[in-house]
Amino acid sequence: PKRMAHWWVSRGPPEAPAPPYGPTLALQRSIFALDLEMTPDYSRGSGHYQVTSVYGGPIMCFDRDHTEDPRDCTSNELSQPGFIGDTMKLVAMYTASSGIEDTRCTSNNTKGYFTIAEVFDAIVEFERIDRPKTADCNHFFFEGLGRSINDKEAFVIYWGS
C-alpha cells in the first residue's frame, strides 16, 4: 500500500492518545485546503497578491494508519469530536511594519467539544480575518493545530503548501 509520508510526519503516529483539551485524533486524520481569492498587490511590487476572500474546501479523512489516499469524510466522521473543550482559542502572530501583531478568535460551546465540522468552520472564519492581514497565499493545506508558545490556552493553525 501507498504511504503518505508527509502527513505521517506532520501528524505523528495515529495511536497517540487523545488530549484532555485540544485537538483529537479524529481531527489529525482530517485535512482540507483553503480556497483563496486574490488580487494583485502592485504596492508591494510585481508578483505579490492580496487575499480578498477565503472559503473552505471539502474536508477529507484518512484511514487510521494513513496508508490509503484521503477520501471525503462521512457525515458521521464530521460529527465526531475534533477538539475537546468548551472554548477553542485560535491565534496567529506575525511581524508587521508597526511591530508584532496578532489575530485572535475564540469559539465557545456548552457540550464540551467541537465537532470536526465545527472546528473547520471556525478555522475558515478565523482565516477570513487573518489572511488579508498577512498576504499569505502560498500555505493553504491544513496540517493541524498546535499550542501557541505565547498563550498556552490558544492554538495556532499549521498550514502547508
DSSP-derived letter for residue 98 is: T
Nearest to 11 by CA among 61, 56, 80, 59: 61
User: How does pLDDT run across 91-106, given as a tens digit for each residue?
Assistant: 987 766 676 778 899 9
Q: What is the pTM of this model?
A: 0.78
pLDDT at 54: 72
Cα atoms in the 13 Å half-sphere on the side-chain side of 133: 17
Residue recorded with cell 465540522: 117
Task: Specify the amino acid at residue 116.
Answer: I
Asked whether 33 and 58 are in contact (CB, 8 A), the reply is no
DSSP one-letter string for 101-151: EEEEEEEE-SSSEEEHHHHHHHHHHHHHHHHHHH---S--EEEEEEE-SS-
In this predicted structure, the answer to whether residue 107 has a pLDDT above a threshold of 60 is yes
More confident call, 17 vs 6 = 17
Terminal-residue alpha carbon distance, the chain: 24
Contacts of 89 (CB under 8 A, 6+ apart): 104, 105, 106, 151, 153, 154, 155
- Give the three cell numbers for residue 146: 498546535
Percent of the chain beyond pLDDT 90?
A: 27
Cα gap 65→50, rounded to integer Å? 38
Angle CA 84–88–89, to nearest 5: 145
